[in-house]
Amino acid sequence: MTARCLSVSLVALCASSCFVVASKEQYTGPPPGCGACEETARFEPTVPLEWITLFDGTSLDAFRGYRAEDVPAGWRIVDGALVRVDGAGDLITRGEWGSFELAFEWRIPPGGNSGVMFHVSEDQGATWESGPEYQVLDNAILGEDGDPSTSAAANYALHAPSRDMTNPPGTWNRALLVVDHGHVEHWLNGVRVVSYDLWTPDWEARVAATKFKTRPAYGRNRKGHIAFQDHGARVAYRNIRLLPLD
């Protein structure tokens, strides 16, 4: 696929700082100085879009535990946010999707670690064994010699973000995960920082160079659940919305 200057959709920041996505039919080109097209996009939609609200701050009905029927007690609603308050295990959506855009906000405490995975199936022992991950992290824990492919907004262990767009620990970050028929983009605070294509020779080579080479299900699903990782931190998520692209 060509550079995502011609992406299926581009994230915009409206006056209220929420996510708005404009379809490619409304996109007339990159802004001046787009360069490698890791731009901050600001567009307004001209037609209604069919977003699904997964979490609005009041209900966890869209979720359950991984390989469980109910939401683990360690995931709770706190001040309108979905918060991992105690040992709980990973949380997954009840629904499954192949191509979609997932808009959400995340907040991590100092030293915290979490992640959002997609195309997750429940035939493995853990979510990360099948689902590629949008990393959620306090980058300070990496130090100067840390692996950038495990930093915030990375495709965990495979693709490093082009730049660090994180806000300070303890404050909110705006994220967009685009999965469009094998093409994947990670956006953070209005900037696209990762772009890759699943199942290509480059992707296969990257997988073979990581711990995922021993996980035959990793990244192979064409659809699946979205997972929110319990990695021990008091991570918080809010304003979780999904736009199906299938």
Whether residue 219 lies inside any domain: the answer is yes
pLDDT in the model for residue 49: 59
End-to-end CA separation in angstroms for the chain? 17
Whether residue 34 lies inside any domain: the answer is no
CA distances from 115 to 24, 31, 32, 172, 226 (A): 28, 30, 33, 15, 10
Whether residue 92 lies inside any domain: the answer is yes
Whether residue 29 lies inside any domain: the answer is no
Whether residue 67 lies inside any domain: the answer is yes
Whether residue 182 lies inside any domain: the answer is yes
pLDDT in the model for residue 144: 80
- Exposure class string for 153-170: b at 16+ Cβ within 10 A, else e: bbbbbbbbbbeebbeebe
Whether residue 23 lies inside any domain: the answer is no
10 neighbors 39 (Cβ within 8 angstroms): no
Counting the structural domains of the chain, the total is: 1
pLDDT in the model for residue 197: 98
How many other C-beta atoms can be found within 10 angstroms of the C-beta atom of residue 15? 6
Backbone angles phi, psi at 127, to 5 degrees: -60, -40
Quote the CA–CA distance of 45 and 20 in Å, as a whole number.
7
CATH of the domain at 228: 2.60.120.560
Q: Which two tokens stand for residue 2?
A: 């060509």
pLDDT tens, position by position, for the chain (246 residues)? 433 333 444 443 333 334 333 333 333 333 334 444 445 443 334 445 599 999 999 999 999 999 999 999 999 999 999 999 999 999 999 999 999 999 999 999 999 999 999 999 999 999 999 999 999 999 999 988 899 999 999 999 999 999 999 999 999 999 999 999 999 999 999 999 999 999 999 999 999 999 999 999 999 999 999 999 999 999 999 999 999 998
pLDDT in the model for residue 28: 32
Number of residues in the chain: 246
Taking each continuous run of H as one helix and of E as one strand, the counts in the chain are: 1, 15
Residues spanned by the domain of 108: 51-244
